[in-house]
């Protein structure tokens, strides 16, 4: 029994000792840094660099009517042109990413590659972002086309965007030739 008791005390003492040691190490790690060695500073810098390089991209986008002067729209007819506009921001630098591979995946199976450039034109630049013009086929069936926008940088970081799942904000193809009013004007 005496041997068991001494082992128990030793085990308890080790646990307390290990807990105290862990607390001291934790407090040392939270110090002002005056006692941090160069090796520890390097490890901290590497950890911060890895964390920043793994931040995802912030991808946002919308669709606009090409014929109505880039006005946000969601309802289109067969034969009309839709412009996908996408902004990709590097969360580490908070600056636009100009060299990402940006694609729109449409629920009809098509994939569109976007291109980075100034808009509305090179002569009068408001800002630069990714765009692609998509001409709706004249034989397109009425209904919604869901889409996802993805961006990938050369170093492998990614981000994606899906519009809200609200009927009025979905990319919708109206029946051809129907009298409809879109944004205050007749479409027939």
User: pLDDT digit string (tens) for 84-134?
Assistant: 999 999 999 999 999 999 999 999 999 999 999 987 765 666 789 999 999
Residue 36 covered by a domain:
no
Q: 123: domain range?
A: 57-176
13-67 per-position pLDDT tens digit: 433 444 433 333 334 444 444 444 445 555 555 455 545 667 899 999 999 988 8
The predicted pLDDT at position 68 comes to: 75
Beta strand 115-120 with 125-135 is antiparallel
Query: Is residue 122 one of the residues assigned to a domain?
Result: yes
The pTM assigned to this predicted structure is: 0.66
How confident is the model at residue 127, as a pLDDT? Answer: 84
Residue 46 lies in a domain: no
With respect to residue 51, please indicate whether it lies within any of the assigned structural domains.
no
Domain tally, the chain: 1
Which pLDDT belongs to residue 176?
78
CATH number of the domain encompassing residue 153: 2.60.40.1080
Q: Which of 83, 106, 103, 84 is nearest to 159 (CA)?
A: 103
């Amino acid at each position: 029994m005496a041997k068991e008791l001494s082992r128990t005390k030793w085990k308890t003492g080790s646990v307390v000792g290990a807990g105290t040691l862990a607390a001291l190490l934790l407090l040392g790690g939270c110090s002002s840094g005056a006692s941090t060695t160069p090796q520890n500073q390097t490890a901290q810098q590497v950890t911060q660099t890895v964390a920043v390089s793994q931040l995802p991209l912030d991808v946002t986008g919308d669709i606009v009517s090409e014929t109505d002067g880039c006005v946000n729209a969601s309802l289109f007819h067969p034969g009309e042109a839709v412009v996908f506009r996408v902004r990709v921001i590097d969360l580490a630098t908070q600056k636009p990413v100009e060299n990402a591979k940006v694609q729109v995946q449409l629920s009809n199976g098509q994939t569109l590659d976007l291109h980075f450039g100034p808009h509305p034109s090179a002569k009068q630049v408001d800002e630069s972002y990714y765009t692609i013009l998509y001409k709706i086929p004249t034989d397109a069936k009425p209904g919604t086309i869901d889409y996802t926008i993805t961006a990938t940088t050369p170093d492998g970081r990614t981000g994606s965007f899906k519009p809200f799942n609200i009927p009025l904000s979905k990319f919708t193809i109206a029946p051809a030739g129907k009298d409809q009013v879109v944004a205050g004007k007749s479409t027939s």
